Amino acid sequence: MWVFGYGSLIWKVDFPYDKRVVGYIKGYVRRFWQASIDHRGVPGKPGRVVTLIPSNDPEDKVWGVAYKLPEDQVDEIKGRLDEREKRYQITLDVPFYFKQSACGSAQVQVNFYVAPAFGPLFLGEADAVAMAEQIKSARGPSGDNLDYLAKLWQFMRDEVGADAEEEDAHLTTLYRLCFP
């Protein structure tokens, strides 16, 4: 089993894995449209974290990391991830394309968690300036919302590379508004 991380699972991995691979899925876009009241914000002052939204363009990419779980620990790790990502629902069997095919194969099927668009914490689209202001001022038990944004941008810059800005324009816009 492979698990795809596109938000905090990129840098906050609290489970064992056999392999970590940078790459992308297609047909989705990453958006700061999910309220966080238990990690990057609190009730009454939520932060904004990312979720995936189906794209109208099947070639749109979301970059992240796929983790191959140890076969003998899949059920235990999946249970821990279900608890960690409890405000999300799981989507199964989505192709993940490796950044570099030196890992053996060019793609694998991954599981990932995505917020339901009808859920109580789904914020949806908003003005970028308003989103940036909310991100700058939110803090929760897992830290500043601004730190979450910065770590996601750092991953894109360091591991995706020169195309990071055009590969995730939404993230780039929010990063530039928060870190002028």
The catalytic site residues sit at 85
Whether 28 and 60 have beta carbons less than 8 Å apart is answered as yes
In angstroms, what CA-CA distances link 135 with 50, 129, 132?
Answer: 11, 10, 5
Phi/psi at 162 (nearest 5 deg)? -60, -30
Neighbours of 155 (CB within 10 A): 21
| Cα–Cα dist 48/122, whole Å | 10
